[in-house]
Structure 1
Amino acid sequence: MRVALKLAYIGTEFHGSQIQPNVETVEGELFKALRNLGIIESPKSANYTCAGRTDAGVHALEQIVAFDTDKPNLAIPRAINSELPPTIWAWAHAEVPLDFDARRDAVSRHYRYVMSGEEYNISRIREASKLLIGTHDFENFSRTDGEKSTIRTLERINARVDGELTKIDVVGHSFLWNMVRKIVTALSMIGKGVRDNDWLLQMLNPDIYEEGIEPAPAYGLTLMKVNYKENLRWVDDNYSIRRAGEQNQKRILSHRVMAEVLEELISHE
């Protein structure tokens, strides 16, 4: 049987999602859990696929992985979570066709970037984001090896203010390395008035204009959702969802306390 999982993770502690030697990664922890439970022998023998890799420090709400197993009764979130660290949790599973590929069968991916919103002009960001919709050469918005095509299509970019934060949602079929974070950098520069729309149009024409920009910090980016043409029948694990919510409420409280401590340290009072 072939099984797909929805995974969520807090990427801060990991060197990205894709397995790498001698560093902690999301896949490294997942493979360890699946092997410990006897669900798979190895990623290769299980025909493991993943919707896409996320960089070091990037988070996910709905990363999709798929693998073959002869123990589908164990390939469920609450069993797998028992072997995972609390910063990674599965929360839904589905039986999928034997030829299902979590990466190639995806039709779009949705990322969200969250940043402080006090210093940005949201109207400028929204106007500039319209220029990025459609098919363009995003070479100036990526880190590439010079061989892979840098042509990509963006379906939607939404920017909104939520309290003291600005949230930018980007949806497209696929993305280049660091592409979303560099788009955020460009839009934030325009939102601050440091650059304008003419500059953005130049950035979309790398044949005649080249400029390197730094990607926005990884901690603000989350892979929100991966969409598939086929309607997969997901089964949510309410216990796993509730348990993750309880654990993350504790993290939220600790971060709020730490933020207050930092405020006191710099207040000099």
Structure 2
Amino acid sequence: MAMMELTNTEDDKGEIQPPKPKKRRVVLFMGYLGSGYQGMQRNRDAKTIEGELMRALVNTACVPDHLQDDYAKLKWSRSARTDKGVSAAGQVVSADLKCEVDGQLSQSLLDQINESLPEDITVYGWMRATGSFSAKADCVRRRYEYLLPTSGLGQEDVDNEKVVSARIARFNVILARYTGSHLFHNFTDKMKGDDPTAQRYILECTCSEPFTIQNSSFLKVSLVGQSFVLHQIRKMVGLALQVRSLVANPFANLSASV
């Protein structure tokens, strides 16, 4: 971040006053641990990531008190929505905030925002954006990662590398069927098959080799798509595991109910 030279002003009493930040459309890059939160999207009756972020922005005067509930007025937008307990290594929010001092975004304000946030939420940085920018509308792809124990592909021979690799290879064949454009109305709630918004395009759906976290073996399912409907990812992984276990028909249409 470049160093800033701040221009102070005098009030009617001749006292020096710090410069007032100007409102600008900005993009915030952030990450958080989702445990203990009811998801990303703000909900008056629940503890959410957006609720904590808004509180910090109000505390630092980046958002006036009277606008903290007016997301439309702030042109507020998020690049992705995460469910209860889900964490994010890279989340993007755009909004009109009072944060520019002498033509540059104030680093001291960013520091104050992070001081006002809980320890499990961090804004890595921010930058100016064009007045029409929307974190949601201008996001071209989203990546989600879903962890599951290696034993989820089979309880037996979990220490046999050759057996586990064969199971992962089969699982990847199943996951590959999700790629492309499909109707996902049965992977969410209250959506009919003729709803055009159920059509989603999946760019990538793969399972990693095993890795260890605190002496336990895990797999990582990576999903990349233009966008996802509510609960789609967990239901995609759930169906794939059922197919892998031959609980579900491996030749069923992708729109089959989980």
| TM-score using structure 2 length | 0.74
Residues 47-56 or 97-106, more deviating:
47-56
Residue of structure 2 equivalent to 1:20: 43
Shift of 1:16: 1.1
Q: Over aligned residue pairs, what C-alpha RMSD do you find?
A: 1.8
Correspondence for 2:186 among 119, 140, 145: 140
Give structure 1 stretches of 5+ with no counterpart: 214-269
Q: Which structure dedicates a bigger proportion of its chain to helix?
A: 1
Aligned residues: 205
Correspondence for 1:150 among 198, 202, 206: 198
| Distance of 1:158 and 1:186 partners within structure 2 | 14
Residues 1-269 of structure 1 mapped to structure 2, 5 A cutoff: 1-41=24-64, 42=67, 43-72=71-100, 73=106, 77-120=110-153, 121-146=167-192, 149-163=197-211, 164-199=217-252, 202=253, 204=254, 206=255, 210-211=256-257, 213=258
| Distance of 2:199 and 2:244 partners within structure 1 | 25
Q: Which amino acid aligns with 1:66?
A: S
Q: Describe the SS at the equivalent of 2:174.
A: helix
Give structure 2 stretches of 5+ with no counterpart: 1-23, 101-105, 154-166, 212-216
Q: Which amino acid aligns with 1:136?
A: H
Question: Structure 1 residues 165, 196: CA separation in 2 closer, same or farther (over 3 Å shift)?
Answer: farther
Q: Describe the SS at the equivalent of 1:118.
A: helix
Question: Structure 1 residues 141, 40: CA separation in 2 closer, same or farther (over 3 Å shift)?
Answer: same
Q: Which amino acid aligns with 1:152?
A: R
Question: Structure 1 residues 69, 119: CA separation in 2 closer, same or farther (over 3 Å shift)?
Answer: closer
- Contact kept? 1:77, 1:89, Cα under 8 Å: no
| TM-score using structure 1 length | 0.71
Q: Describe the SS at the equivalent of 2:251.
A: helix
Question: Structure 1 residues 144, 56: CA separation in 2 closer, same or farther (over 3 Å shift)?
Answer: same
Shift of 1:162: 2.3
Q: Work out which structure has the larger RCO, using CA pairs closer than 8 Å and 6 or more positions apart in sequence.
A: 1
Give aligned-pair identity as a percent.
26
| Distance of 1:145 and 1:119 partners within structure 2 | 29
Shift of 1:145: 4.2
Shift of 1:93: 1.6
